Structure 1
């Protein structure tokens, strides 16, 4: 990795791209500190102190603490992420969008434009819900129409600006801009999480206990990172053989290839879907100022709250963890089934004269791919669960309340690996150009 960065900095064009990306990230962190006009900072601070471990922690991690400070970037790029997922699902469900997606570059530009409009719409809805729901509870210094409109427009504009910055990074910088923005927000929360862990398990403790705590914390972090890298890079390669064709005096085909199936086929999507589904009722209850009572509804909400899972004093609420695991496995299969089509792959192989050794073309190939895919999806889902549950267990059992969890770790590792591969590709292309020019 260090060698990749060293070679990249030796090339002027790539060095400019890295510099541009860095400057955009500085702009993002500056904007994350600018307060939204008319917001009562004391209220949102008190809200987070009273709701440690609640549903908003993951959202706060994605926004890099901007939500906790209610800055102009409080919504971050979460509306864009949501709209992208919605468009991806609609592309498969709506034939017209599917045709648009297959229509080359022009079709993808139209889908990108629709995604931008949808992002602004979602940002308006989310900011309005926050301004009205929390505004009545004390978020706004003075709850009236003008202040609410100012907050809505500010948060919507901030989200749209981050979307624009992400697209500019993709165009003029290094890596996928939206992913880079998300990762820098998550990383910005790590120092405060590490400080929280230090204050809770190391500070003021005997030297032996403090040293043991440091070793355990570092060991868990390293093991999780290594396991995440293995999960993200793991793949099952299915051998494909292409038959030879003789046209005139030339022979075509005959070479061997493979179909790489990633172990973690759905990426971080199953965790995001299952977490969102579990936490959505809690968010709605918070907007309405309810959920802290003693009725059955409040008990259900406590069971859906990750902050109560694996807590020895409230073990009855850990049923939510079982539901969460089941949802993660379900969404892993669901998302892969709508994004990966074995029938289309089998048909393309048949048209190209390709076949899997020992498997007949056509339906037997589809059945074989489905069988392998189901096996791989289950392994990937189990890996996701392990990465996500370990931080939840320590948060619940030891009371280590940190926003940095398995979801954040998977996103960081996948984006870093993707960016490094892009740098390697750009460096390789430059070397080829230099060779050709010489």
Structure 2
């Protein structure tokens, strides 16, 4: 405990770090305040208990409840994330986008601008669908046509405002803004979910308070397991040739390439979840399909949904790792800098060796990622309320763990730069890149 207070005191002594933390907290408070503002032309009293369940409940969690409250920022940063993912994929497949990625700062600015324009287009499309399907007609106080047009403009402006808040946190705050906004939205639902779970257990439903204690212990174990997966690396030794220039020696040291067990981060779950939304969307637009085999995919707790979801995650983990980790480029860079892997010839042999290592560690990483993704549905099967079960795994837990580790890494770097002790007595906090956002290396 003394170590904790000493560390907090050291953080407060660094003026720049203190200002960044306070600025970040201020922006997050503004975001949570805006989440409570309902769309103009909507009677909030007629919305009732507009709680979402299933897949829409997941979207509502990422938006911090703004989705179900019909807020002016109901869509949150999800359109921005979708646009960022599209731009990233275009950077892999389209030569002109690859060229911009290699142009440094000027190329990054061009990609940021393209991402913003694409965000506007995606938000407009999603806004139209949102107001038509999620806003009850009896809650609309003005002309419906006027309301749809006005709401589209307001929701688009709301998403752009949230995107701007995220960029301000990244520039002047601590951590990645987009990821922090998503994390705050997820955490905002935790007290309500926990209160509901405590109330239901205290009422004697499903084992009472003993079952609640078991649930908390299980949640702690799942979080620890997730941290191990996020932090796990396979260190490949690299020896650099010794060079003597004048009286100075360069190189001649052994370093390591940290290959992550989960190099794809949260992206496979996001891609897989996007595909799993399709059957639910089809059954919503075509009621005649509700009694078909597609109906099994509308319930995220069903065995069919969980198995398909897990298979898609494993496939996307291999796919995303293959397009983001380039063994040939790593081998070429190593060769240019006079480095080699002991016992492996430079060039093609090194590239094949790295590719083989990546393949071996990606498979268990994909399996573990799939397990984490389907844990919420398993928790529901064990009698845990759906709202609280979302914190047992899936995208929400990976985002929470990743963002916290990434933010702590930045705080620790400030402490070490000022010659203070880090956040841990042994080892160092290592972060991870999360949801890709334009203009940043780590993002939600």
Say whether the fold is shared (TM-score over 0.5). Answer: yes
Cα deviations by residue, 1:82-121 (Å, 9 ceiling, x for unpaired): 1111111111111111121111122112111211111121
CA deviation after TM superposition for structure 1 residue 320, in Å: 2.1
CA deviation after TM superposition for structure 1 residue 326, in Å: 0.7
- The question of 1:424 aligning with 2:424 is answered no
CA deviation after TM superposition for structure 1 residue 136, in Å: 8.4
Task: Decide which moves more: 233-242 or 103-112.
Answer: 103-112
* Separation (CA, whole Å) in 1 of partners of 2:318 and 2:343: 26
* Separation (CA, whole Å) in 2 of partners of 1:224 and 1:323: 22
- Structure 1: segments with no counterpart, 5+ residues: 310-317, 433-438
* Separation (CA, whole Å) in 2 of partners of 1:246 and 1:16: 45
In structure 2, the CA distance between the partners of 1:139 and 1:279, relative to structure 1 (3 Å rule), is farther
Q: Indicate the residue corresponding to 2:292 in structure 1.
A: 299
* Separation (CA, whole Å) in 1 of partners of 2:8 and 2:379: 35
Q: Indicate the residue corresponding to 2:151 in structure 1.
A: 151
Q: For 1:51-90, list aligned pairs within 5 A.
A: 52=53, 54-90=54-90
In structure 2, the CA distance between the partners of 1:371 and 1:398, relative to structure 1 (3 Å rule), is same
Q: Superposition RMSD on alpha carbons, in Å?
A: 2.3
Q: Indicate the residue corresponding to 1:39 in structure 2.
A: 42
Answer yes or no: is the 8 Å Cα contact 2:35–2:72 preserved in 1: yes
Q: Indicate the residue corresponding to 1:115 in structure 2.
A: 115
- The question of 1:27 aligning with 2:30 is answered yes
In structure 2, the CA distance between the partners of 1:151 and 1:182, relative to structure 1 (3 Å rule), is same
In structure 2, the CA distance between the partners of 1:82 and 1:405, relative to structure 1 (3 Å rule), is farther
Cα deviations by residue, 1:63-90 (Å, 9 ceiling, x for unpaired): 0000010101100000111111111111
Answer yes or no: is the 8 Å Cα contact 1:131–1:139 preserved in 2: no
* Separation (CA, whole Å) in 2 of partners of 1:188 and 1:129: 25
* Separation (CA, whole Å) in 2 of partners of 1:204 and 1:392: 23
SS of 2:238's equivalent in the other structure is strand
In structure 2, the CA distance between the partners of 1:300 and 1:112, relative to structure 1 (3 Å rule), is same
In structure 2, the CA distance between the partners of 1:257 and 1:136, relative to structure 1 (3 Å rule), is same
SS of 1:69's equivalent in the other structure is coil
CA deviation after TM superposition for structure 1 residue 220, in Å: 1.3
Task: Decide which moves more: 13-22 or 382-391.
Answer: 382-391
Q: Indicate the residue corresponding to 1:394 in structure 2.
A: 379
Cα deviations by residue, 1:381-424 (Å, 9 ceiling, x for unpaired): 12212222222112134262114352111101110010011011
* Separation (CA, whole Å) in 2 of partners of 1:78 and 1:126: 10
TM-score normalised by length of structure 1: 0.88
Answer yes or no: is the 8 Å Cα contact 2:120–2:156 preserved in 1: yes
- Residues paired across the two proteins, number: 414
CA deviation after TM superposition for structure 1 residue 306, in Å: 4.0
In structure 2, the CA distance between the partners of 1:264 and 1:117, relative to structure 1 (3 Å rule), is same
Q: State which of 297, 320, 323 in structure 2 corresponds to 1:335.
A: 320
- Structure 2: segments with no counterpart, 5+ residues: 421-444
Structure (1/2) with the larger helix percentage:
1
